[in-house]
Structure 1
Amino acid sequence: MSHSVAGEPPAAGRRAAPLTTAVYSAAEWELLTNLPGRVLVAAAVPAPGRPPRGVAAGLAGLDAVAAGRVFDSDLVRAVVAAIYARHDSSTSPADRLTDLVDLLASCRAAVRVLRRRADPADSAAYRQWVLSVAARVCRAVPVGGAADVPTAPVDRRFLERLGGALDLR
């Protein structure tokens, strides 16, 4: 096992010190760690004009959340680690549902927290990652479905509104 010498860059371009969550209050950290799951649920729920979602959409969303483990962002990796470390078995599925207005308000609140507390690159990576979770769910192809089906207009509007709330548009 080798040890780095002081002054050497960290391995694989990552920072030597892991991100500490100490810069975030408990409420801010809860907001940042709950938002990806809420976005996944909002993208997957049935809506007028939205094609029926199946298991493939949920799996696509979970895969997009898990993809955050390899992001080049300490913040995104820490959020994913926190998501996988928690035990939410006490929360009922009804408690996890969210309406769009509340979700967009939470996205705006997260942007405000990130502006105050996060490195700009980590902030951008987090916001893009959260949007990618929704995009993967909205673009998931149902089992037996055609792969070249365009995104439904209701999903495009959802993604546009979400991107706006995340300050990406």
Structure 2
Amino acid sequence: MSHSVAGEPPSAGRRAAPLTTAVYSAAEWDLLTSLPARVLVAAAAPGAGRPERGVLAGLAGLDAVAAGRGFDSDLVRAVVAAIYARHDGGPAPAERLTDLVDLLVACRAAVRVLAQRADPADSAAYRQWVQSVAARVCRAVPGPGGRLASPADRRFLDRLGGALGLG
């Protein structure tokens, strides 16, 4: 177990640096660390009966990503740390981020990677966290009649949940 500078163990029994990243190839880790942003952008994108979203939806998605820091999952915390530690500062190409078919394929690929390499609890936490990013974006701006998610948003969330093996 690693210790802090003061020689005390990290709070709540958490490791200072999760060992979870060592079991993933660079391509697998890139998939796991890029998927939350891809989901956020896809959830915020209008189209197919889904309303135009604004800054509030994007902020809700960013807040949902950041909320992963508090998860009781080494994997989720490591992914969030990697997301915030990236130095390139540039987003992935827009077509990579918003194409729904490609996003669902990436979700299924992530599920396969997690099934092979992750602890089942970490796998479930990661998949639920990614789904929660989309749900918070879709519900950030009430639609007509004050509904929190349009029927098209619910279909999007259902498809995403299915691709993540949640439904």
Distance 1:37 1:59 in 2: 12
Tell me the CA shift for residue 79 of structure 1: 0.2
| TM-score of the aligned structures, taking structure 2 as reference length | 0.87
Distance 2:110 2:20 in 1: 17
Q: Which residue of 1 aligns with 2:64?
A: 64
Q: Deviations over 1:90-148 (max 9, x none)?
A: 44653553311110010000000001100110000000000000000000026xx8894
Q: Map 1:34-45; keep pairs closer than 5 Å.
A: 34-45=34-45
Q: Which residue of 2 aligns with 1:3?
A: 8
Partner of 2:98, secondary structure, is: coil
Distance 1:110 1:17 in 2: 22
Q: Which amino acid is 1:40 matched to?
A: L
Q: Which residue of 2 aligns with 1:74?
A: 74
Distance 2:112 2:77 in 1: 20
Q: Which residue of 1 aligns with 2:21?
A: 21
Q: Which residue of 2 aligns with 1:162?
A: 160
- The answer for unaligned runs of 5 or more in structure 2 is 1-5
Partner of 2:141, secondary structure, is: coil
Tell me the CA shift for residue 89 of structure 1: 3.2
| TM-score of the aligned structures, taking structure 1 as reference length | 0.86
Q: Which amino acid is 1:156 matched to?
A: R
Q: Is the 8 A contact 1:111 1:167 kept in 2?
A: yes
Q: Is the 8 A contact 1:141 1:147 kept in 2?
A: no
Tell me the CA shift for residue 21 of structure 1: 1.2
Distance 2:92 2:118 in 1: 31
Q: Which residue of 1 aligns with 2:116?
A: 116
- Classify 1:95/1:153 alpha carbon distance in 2 versus 1 (closer, same or farther; 3 Å): closer
Distance 1:146 1:88 in 2: 39
Q: Is the 8 A contact 1:108 1:166 kept in 2?
A: yes
Distance 1:92 1:13 in 2: 35
The Cα RMSD (Å) is 2.2
Q: Deviations over 1:2-47 (max 9, x none)?
A: 635xxxxx74143576224110000000000000000000000111
Mapped pair 1:151 → 2:156: no
Percent of matched pairs sharing the same residue: 78
Q: Is the 8 A contact 2:68 2:77 kept in 1?
A: yes
